Structure 1
Amino acid sequence: MKQSKLLFLSVVLMFGQLAMAQQSLHIVQAKSAFVHIKEDQQLRKYAWRIVPGKAVDTYTSSAGKLSLITDVDSISFTLGPGVVHEFCFVLNGKDTARTKIMYQPARLDMLKAAAAYDANDQRYVPRFSYQSASDTNLQRIRRDLKLDSIAGNGSELSKIFNLMHWVHNLIKHDGNSNNPTLKNAIDLIKVCKQENRGVNCRMLA
């Protein structure tokens, strides 16, 4: 009987500590699920999506300072090697999403730390070219989806990254999904929203 009481008290204490940990997390309010992210001086619009119900959502960054900006609130962190921050989004006053921010070295730094390239590698690399910017379908996508606003005003790589993050947060990956009938960007986004579904890697590409 005594052991049962001790076990019960231990369980109560454990859950009490968990509750206190939850309460100590900083709360960030939001009415929209989309979040802007500012990494150092670079602002990326709609770069993150709040996902209530997920155990812990993790965002990694190589920036020294990072800010997450909702439609009604914001939070900022200083980052560095080994630094981890946790907080909680509250969407529409009721849905919570625990979020972790972690430092990760920049991709370029990772590449520099890798082994040297083999300059004698003669494997064939197919030629690649972009579709003309004057293509009517591309112009429609650019206009209707407001891609210039999402891409921002940074370098070409910065714009590419912003668009990739936007797509990543807009449409989830689902490797088991069937391909939609219409396979252009606008219709893919539309069907994913209407059916609350994702698409496979081929459709994402």
Structure 2
Amino acid sequence: MKKTLCLLLAMLLLLAPAIAQNTYKGLPVIKAATNKADYRIGSEWVRGSWNIMPELEVDILKVSVPNNKVKFSFQTDSDSINFTIKPGDSKKFYVLLNGNDYALTEIQGFGFDALKFSKANTKPAFSFVYEQNQDNEFLNTLREHYNLDAVVAGAANDTERALRMVNWVHQQWNHNGMNEPSKPDALTILAEAKAGKQFRCVEYGTVTAAALNAIGLPARRLGLKMKEVETTQYGAGHVLLEVYLPDLKKWVMLDGQFDVMPVLNNVPLNAVEFQQAIANNYNKLEIRSLSGTSKTQYINWIYPYLYYFDVKFDNREGIALDRKKIDGKQSLMLLPVGAKEPKVFQIVNPLDYCKYTTSVADFYQAPEMSTKTGTARK
């Protein structure tokens, strides 16, 4: 009997560390030997895009829930956790990386709500400057050196031109959110990408906008920011672009990092229209992508960023230009009616370069286009 009790006690002592590792500070724990993880929303896996970061106070993944609830899985190289999540839910757990560092991870479920913007003012209160592409040496070099005319050759319309160009830029390098080019212009970025460097969303936006401007389609880089932009420690913003399509007479959103154009009822959408369509027409909404980007995965990722929108007043292409500002501010931020005007980015970075508006008329006025720009599109 004593031998049996001793044996059971010894087994419990051996198992105690393993049992203890199932929770940490009252929360579940899963293990990982590498800092990459996959997750699944419903039936779709997102592979290799999640970085386990113990240095963050909490690492938050927002999960869209189109139909009231969804099954969710989080999988490391050696462990996993599964649960059902609903809009408004918050599920927290720790990832123990290499047996040493605990990464607090929070999964937040959210539904889709259409933001409200002012439509009362039809006369814009601000003005923008766009590239006219009149003997612009910088753009001519970009267009000729990278043979951009060949990229869009044979395209039936401006929508197809834009799709081909964003796909071309998407293929020039793999995304790396930690790398920056030596200079922030399209020629430098492409040259360094050719040498093997990888860059952020910012550079996809910069290069795609420049390439579209080079072929005569007015484009502007667009910054997106989460509602929690002031209090989120990491990943509170995303950069993409919008292009003005003359044959449709409207602005259209493009995302070079993901090779995406949102479309509803065969009409390409700008960023605000995209946000509204996610909330009101999810099933009819199309994510058009020449590389096959998943609608579910992209909308889940992008939706939280579709809250604050900002563009520069001066969208000309070139180096060392005297850029237009209004009251010393370089950008206009569109925010929902009743939303706070953010003054800080990711807790510590001053957000002091914007004028603010709630008017879509201010934000989406058509650019002035020269006749020479039109010939560049042929």
TM interval, short-chain normalised: 0.5 to 0.7
1:78 aligns with 2:89: no
Q: CA deviation at 1:138?
A: 6.6
What's the counterpart of residue 236 of structure 2? Answer: none
Choose which of 110, 113, 117 in structure 2 pairs with 1:110.
Answer: 113
Looking at structure 1, the residues matched to 195 and 36 of structure 2 have their Cα atoms a distance apart, in angstroms, of: 16
Query: Is the Cα–Cα contact under 8 Å of residues 58 and 105 in structure 2 kept in the other structure?
Result: yes
Looking at structure 2, the residues matched to 131 and 76 of structure 1 have their Cα atoms a distance apart, in angstroms, of: 39
Q: Where do 1:126-137 residues align within 5 Å?
A: 127-128=158-159, 129-131=162-164
Looking at structure 1, the residues matched to 191 and 27 of structure 2 have their Cα atoms a distance apart, in angstroms, of: 39
What's the counterpart of residue 179 of structure 1? Answer: 183
What's the counterpart of residue 94 of structure 1? Answer: 100
Q: 1:51 to 1:134 in 2, by over 3 A?
A: closer
- Encode CA deviations 1:167-191: one digit per residue, 9 max, x unaligned: 4xx41488xx853785139839954
Q: CA deviation at 1:140?
A: 7.0
What's the counterpart of residue 61 of structure 1? Answer: 63
Looking at structure 2, the residues matched to 189 and 104 of structure 1 have their Cα atoms a distance apart, in angstroms, of: 41
Q: CA deviation at 1:96?
A: 1.7
Looking at structure 2, the residues matched to 36 and 62 of structure 1 have their Cα atoms a distance apart, in angstroms, of: 16
Looking at structure 2, the residues matched to 189 and 30 of structure 1 have their Cα atoms a distance apart, in angstroms, of: 33
Give the root-mean-square deviation of aligned CA atoms: 4.0
Q: 1:171 to 1:117 in 2, by over 3 A?
A: same
Larger Rg: 1 or 2? 2
Query: Is the Cα–Cα contact under 8 Å of residues 171 and 189 in structure 1 kept in the other structure?
Result: no
- Could you tell me which runs of 5 or more consecutive residues in structure 1 were left unpaired when the two chains were aligned: 1-20, 146-166, 193-197
Q: Where do 1:190-201 residues align within 5 Å?
A: 191=197
Aligned AA (1:37): Y
Looking at structure 1, the residues matched to 203 and 90 of structure 2 have their Cα atoms a distance apart, in angstroms, of: 34
Q: 1:110 to 1:45 in 2, by over 3 A?
A: same
What's the counterpart of residue 47 of structure 1? Answer: 49
Higher helix share: 1
Q: CA deviation at 1:204?
A: 4.4
Query: Is the Cα–Cα contact under 8 Å of residues 92 and 105 in structure 2 kept in the other structure?
Result: yes
Choose which of 3, 22, 26 in structure 2 pairs with 1:24.
Answer: 26
Q: 1:191 to 1:91 in 2, by over 3 A?
A: farther
Looking at structure 2, the residues matched to 203 and 32 of structure 1 have their Cα atoms a distance apart, in angstroms, of: 27
Query: Is the Cα–Cα contact under 8 Å of residues 182 and 188 in structure 1 kept in the other structure?
Result: no
Looking at structure 1, the residues matched to 190 and 27 of structure 2 have their Cα atoms a distance apart, in angstroms, of: 42
What's the counterpart of residue 37 of structure 1? Answer: 39
User: Equivalent residue of 2:25, what SS?
Assistant: helix
User: Equivalent residue of 1:55, what SS?
Assistant: coil
- Could you tell me which runs of 5 or more consecutive residues in structure 2 were left unpaired when the two chains were aligned: 1-22, 125-129, 131-157, 206-378
TM-score with structure 1 setting the length:
0.53
Looking at structure 1, the residues matched to 26 and 195 of structure 2 have their Cα atoms a distance apart, in angstroms, of: 38
Higher strand share: 2
Q: CA deviation at 1:69?
A: 1.0
Q: CA deviation at 1:74?
A: 0.9
Q: 1:73 to 1:190 in 2, by over 3 A?
A: farther
